[in-house]
Amino acid sequence: MEIEPDFFAKEAFYQKIKDLDKTIVIVTHTNLKKHFGHYLKKRLIAHGIDTKLIDFPTGEKAKSEETIAKIQHKMLGMHLGKNTAILALGGGIVSDVAGFVASTYNRGIPLILFPTSLLAMVDAAIGGKTGVNTKYGKNLIGSIYMPEMIFLDLRMLNFLPDKEWTNGLAEVMKYAVSLDSHVFEILENGLDKWAGKDPAFIQELIIQSCQLKISVVEKDTLESGYRRVLNFGHTIAHAIEVCEKYEFAHGHAVIIGVLVEAYISMRAANFPEESFEKIVTLTRAYNFPLKVSKKTTKKKIMHAMQYDKKSKDCTPRFVLLKSLGEVHSFDGEYCTEVKNSIIENALDWMFTLFKEV
Ligand SMILES: NC(=O)c1ccc[n+]([C@@H]2O[C@H](COP(=O)([O-])OP(=O)(O)OC[C@H]3O[C@@H](n4cnc5c(N)ncnc54)[C@H](O)[C@@H]3O)[C@@H](O)[C@H]2O)c1
Ligand SMILES: [Zn+2]
């Protein structure tokens, strides 16, 4: 993995891709095609690299089996074979979709990740997970497939809309709350730097996040136990995304999930109340959007959680906080069942505070 401010201007970047000696298929969001996609394609071709460009619409709804099939068929129609590599240029949706295509096309072709959103840089591009959404749940169809190269280009963030910054920060909050109280302190002291998009501060958040995720993934590549810690906040978040019919940004669902699961931790696992209050205060200070629409109801959340991949016999299991920056191990399972009354109580709390007015 490399971090640089402007890869497109660096000869070494093109040389690394040229050394793969493959036809490159850039897979990107439609709205990034015009500025980034076409430009990168032109530059790769200028460096003697055979390059194609495929785009698909933005939004969680497009992270689907239909999109995967469309991309695969486009590539088959172009007569592309094993001598092809995919370059995923975009946010987490692009890396999840393009990564899944790379892992299955011709039974696996090389994958290069070029994440462009903060969320993809701090989370989605790290760890090798790919996947798509179905009506049953998020990311239930997918693969674990490691990329050959990852290029984190901080200059890309200059074009990122404000709400996408907040979505990325939600995953940083997840790391801070569940894995590293030092990152929590960095966030507590970094409000002004965040408001000013201070490059050194942003780079620090990205590096800290990548290091935390890599250290978890290295201990448990196949998600048999410890890797579940990365799922903190996501039992609730994924259920909200299903209820909202994938019209909700992932980061938006994650921050709500972090709060509700911190609440559950307080009621079910002795997570200290003052630490819970600190999380609520920090969330408010960073102005996270904290509303769900009328589509999300308690009953629908309870139903959607049955399909969560940590569920056992349709009963959801949660990663729970022990203290700020630390989760319970539950004998190496890193998740546990929680009484329905506690979950419902936590959801009531969520609705009182956040329901759309
Ligand atoms: N595989 C994993 O380990 C993993 C981890 C975390 C999240 N995810 C997945 O990632 C997805 C969310 O990722 P996301 O928030 O990046 O969503 P996204 O890919 O939809 O990107 C968000 C929006 O920002 C735009 N955008 C991206 N980069 C831009 C740039 N540089 N300039 C201007 N606009 C830009 C995109 O076009 C899109 O409209 C979810 O589906 C989630 O499940 C996967
Ligand atoms: Zn996430």
> What pLDDT, on a 0 to 100 scale, did the predictor assign at position 191?
98
Q: Do 170 and 133 lie in a common domain?
A: no
What is the maximum alpha-carbon separation in the chain?
Answer: 63
Choice among 41, 52, 213, 328 that is catalytic = 213
CA 353 to chain centre: 25
Question: Tell me, what CATH number does 307's domain have?
Answer: 1.20.1090.10
Please say if 238 is a catalytic residue: yes
Q: Which ligand is nearest to the CA of 33?
A: 1
> What pLDDT, on a 0 to 100 scale, did the predictor assign at position 317?
97
In the numeric block, the tokens 């897979």 are attached to 27
Please say if 231 is a catalytic residue: yes
> 151-184 burial, b for 16+ CB within 10 Å, e for fewer?
bbbbebbeebeeebbbbbbbbbbbbbbbbbbebb
Choice among 133, 139, 167, 231 that is catalytic = 231
Distance 103 CA to ligand 1 centre (A): 19
Q: Do 116 and 215 lie in a common domain?
A: no
306, two tokens = 């049955």
Q: Do 56 and 20 lie in a common domain?
A: yes
Q: Do 113 and 6 lie in a common domain?
A: yes
SS3 content of the chain, % helix, strand, coil (to 5): 55, 15, 25
> What pLDDT, on a 0 to 100 scale, did the predictor assign at position 352?
87
Going residue by residue through the chain (357 aa), what tens digit of pLDDT does each one get?
888 888 999 999 999 999 999 999 999 999 999 889 999 999 999 999 999 999 999 999 999 999 999 999 999 999 999 999 999 999 999 999 999 999 999 999 999 999 999 999 999 999 999 999 999 988 999 999 999 999 999 999 999 999 999 999 999 999 999 999 999 999 999 999 999 999 999 999 999 999 999 999 999 877 779 999 999 999 999 999 999 999 999 999 999 999 999 999 999 999 999 999 999 999 999 999 988 999 999 999 999 999 998 899 999 999 999 999 999 999 999 999 999 999 999 999 998 876 543
What would you report as the CA-atom Rg of the chain, rounded to the nearest whole angstrom? Answer: 20
Number of structural domains the chain divides into: 2
Nearest Cα to Cα of residue 183 among 194, 192, 196, 174 = 174
Choice among 22, 138, 228, 234 that is catalytic = 234
Q: Do 104 and 170 lie in a common domain?
A: no
Nearest CA to ligand 1 atom 6: 124
Task: Note the pLDDT tens digit of each residue in 267-319.
Answer: 999 999 999 999 999 999 999 998 899 999 999 999 999 999 889 999 999 99
Q: Which of 99, 132, 158 is the last residue of a domain?
A: 158
In the numeric block, the tokens 């194609």 are attached to 52
Distance 120 CA to ligand 2 centre (A): 10
Please say if 328 is a catalytic residue: no
> What pLDDT, on a 0 to 100 scale, did the predictor assign at position 357?
39
> What pLDDT, on a 0 to 100 scale, did the predictor assign at position 166?
97
* Rounded CA separation 196/254 (Å): 24
What is the DSSP annotation of 210-250? HHHHHHHHHH-TT-SSGGGGGGTTHHHHHHHHHHTTT-S-H
Domain of 315? 166-354
Task: Note the pLDDT tens digit of each residue in 200-219.
Answer: 999 999 999 999 999 999 99
Number of Cβ atoms within 10 Å of the Cβ of 200? 8
Which residue among 32, 55, 93 has the greatest number of ligand 1 atoms within 8 angstroms of its CB, and so is best to mutate?
A: 93
Q: Do 57 and 83 lie in a common domain?
A: yes
> What pLDDT, on a 0 to 100 scale, did the predictor assign at position 201?
97
